[in-house]
């Protein structure tokens, strides 16, 4: 999501969901237990209006359920409350999330009537076996069909995928990302699987029938996925579940829950770039790398873990990263000193 958007979330926990997907408990994930009403929508807009202006597009977002599978009359009540706020200038746009098998011409016509701008589709995986084991109740073909219909009707499309689901692998996650990119979304969200207490996945994990997707597993695979989306110019607007008191307080029993997962992944992407730049560097060298001021901490890594890894893997005497005039996310190899000889380099990896 660009910095020019501010989102007013209204949760519709599990409303419209035909069943529970094995990993999901929206009440624990979002911390929201009440189902939204038109009054909730009005109150959320009023509360946002009372805050200092965010200087950006104000979007009301219906999250946490399968919005377009909620009974039509109920959808219309919620959408009408938001549309009324757009009409009087208190809101700029409406977005919502839903399931691929809850999209058809009639649904899209309703969303258009109320001025919805963005539809977020929970694809989760493009592997039918993973979808089946995760209890999703739809196929990859449903994702393709729904995404095409949303684009053709002129909505902005955001696709959500998960990593580490039952039956999943890094290769399947990469293939899912490629197939989602082919659907030309305007944005993507990546949610590595978290084992939420009380869900069927938690039961499977306790019985040893599901192998936990750890934070390290998520960082490894997401560091491969992020460059795929970036190269295709698809902005990844969220990586990892939003931290909540419930999840941090123990509802996340295992899996890839980390309050700063996105930062960990970006830091790993930087490490991969530095590894490429340093290939062939003689042992015992002292190397100086450069990064944009805003990327310095990601390049160095938490507790300097990237620098320590480079020293260890390349047998370096020293490795440091200094501020340099490069783009955010780029890495520059400034110099390599070995046996008193200094090689100035200046190769950049973006
Ligand atoms: S993942 Fe989406 S469709 Fe599945 S139970 Fe949760 S909110 Fe409903």
Instruction: With beta carbons less than 8 A apart as the criterion, state whether 337 and 286 touch.
Output: yes
Question: How far apart are alpha carbons 77 and 72 in whole angstroms?
Answer: 9
Instruction: With beta carbons less than 8 A apart as the criterion, state whether 206 and 256 touch.
Output: no
Which 8-state DSSP code applies to residue 102?
G
| Higher pLDDT, residue 50 or 238 | 238
Which 8-state DSSP code applies to residue 317?
S
Mean pLDDT, the chain, whole residue set: 94
Nearest CA to ligand 1 atom 3: 17
Which 8-state DSSP code applies to residue 68?
G
Q: Which of 233, 213, 207, 230 shows the shortest CA–CA distance to 170?
A: 213
Q: Among 19-33, 71-85, 133-147, where is mean pLDDT lowest?
A: 19-33
Is pTM beyond 0.85? Reply is yes
Question: How far apart are alpha carbons 159 and 225 in whole angstroms?
Answer: 14
Parallel, antiparallel, or unpaired for β 341-349 and 331-338?
Answer: antiparallel
Q: Please, which pLDDT band fits residue 86 given cuts at 50, 70 and 90?
A: very high
Domains assigned to the chain: 5-259 (3.20.20.70), 266-349 (3.30.300)
Among 13, 22, 32, 66, say which to mutate for ligand 1: greatest number of ligand atoms within 8 Å of CB: 66
Report the 10 Å Cβ neighbour count for 87: 10
Each residue of 284-336: pLDDT tens digit? 999 999 999 999 999 999 999 999 999 999 999 999 999 999 999 999 999 99
Nearest CA to ligand 1 atom 6: 24
177: CB partners within 8 A, 6+ apart: 161, 188, 225, 228, 229
**Residue 5 confidence (pLDDT) above 80:** no
Question: How far apart are alpha carbons 102 and 68 in whole angstroms?
Answer: 6
Question: How far apart are alpha carbons 169 and 125 in whole angstroms?
Answer: 11
**Residue 3 confidence (pLDDT) above 60:** no
Within the chain, strands assigned E span 5-11, 57-63, 93-98, 116-124, 156-163, 187-192, 194-196, 236-239, 252-255, 286-291, 318-323, 331-338, 341-349
Q: Which of 103, 197, 176 shows the shortest CA–CA distance to 146?
A: 103
Ligand 1 site: residues with CB under 6 angstroms?
14, 17, 20-21, 24, 26, 65-66, 99, 122
Question: How far apart are alpha carbons 275 and 269 in whole angstroms?
Answer: 10
Atom of ligand 1 at shortest range from CA of 16: 8
**How much is the pLDDT for 231?**
96
Through-space distance between the first and last CA atoms of the chain, rounded to whole angstroms: 21
Among 122, 123, 194, say which to mutate for ligand 1: greatest number of ligand atoms within 8 Å of CB: 122
**How much is the pLDDT for 343?**
76
Instruction: With beta carbons less than 8 A apart as the criterion, state whether 315 and 282 touch.
Output: no
- Give the residue-averaged pLDDT of 145-158: 98
Question: How far apart are alpha carbons 109 and 106 in whole angstroms?
Answer: 5
**How much is the pLDDT for 180?**
98
């Amino acid at each position: 999501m660009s910095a020019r958007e501010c989102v007013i979330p209204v949760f519709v926990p599990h409303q419209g969901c035909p069943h529970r997907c094995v990993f999901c408990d929206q009440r624990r994930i979002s911390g929201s237990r009440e189902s939204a009403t038109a009054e909730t929508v009005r109150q959320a807009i009023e509360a946002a209006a009372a805050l200092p202006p965010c200087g950006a597009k104000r979007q009301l977002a219906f999250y946490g359920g399968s919005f377009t599978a909620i009974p039509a009359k109920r959808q219309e009540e919620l959408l009408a409350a938001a549309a009324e706020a757009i009409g009087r200038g208190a809101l700029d746009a409406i977005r919502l999330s839903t399931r691929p098998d809850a999209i058809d011409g009639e649904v899209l016509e309703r969303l258009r009537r109320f001025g919805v701008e963005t539809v977020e589709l929970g694809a989760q995986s493009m592997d039918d076996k993973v979808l089946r084991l995760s209890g999703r109740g739809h196929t990859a073909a449903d994702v393709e069909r729904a995404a095409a219909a949303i684009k053709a009707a002129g909505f902005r499309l955001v696709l959500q995928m998960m990593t580490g689901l039952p039956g999943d692998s890094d290769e399947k996650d990469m293939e899912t990302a490629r197939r989602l990119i082919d659907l030309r979304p305007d944005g993507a969200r990546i949610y590595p699987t978290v084992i939420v207490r009380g869900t069927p996945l938690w039961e499977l994990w306790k019985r040893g029938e599901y192998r936990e997707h750890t934070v390290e597993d998520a960082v490894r695979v997401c560091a491969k996925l992020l460059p795929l989306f970036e190269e295709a110019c698809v902005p990844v607007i969220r990586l990892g579940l939003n931290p909540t008191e419930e999840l941090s307080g123990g509802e996340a029993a295992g899996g890839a829950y980390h309050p700063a997962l996105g930062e960990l992944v970006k830091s790993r992407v930087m490490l991969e770039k530095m590894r490429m730049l340093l290939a062939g560097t003689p042992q015992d060298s002292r190397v100086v790398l450069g990064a944009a001021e805003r990327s310095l901490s990601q390049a160095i890594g938490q507790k300097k873990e990237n620098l320590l890894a480079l020293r260890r893997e390349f047998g370096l005497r020293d490795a440091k990263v200094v501020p340099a005039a490069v783009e955010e996310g780029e890495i520059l190899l400034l110099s390599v000193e070995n046996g008193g000889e200094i090689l100035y380099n200046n190769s950049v990896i973006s």
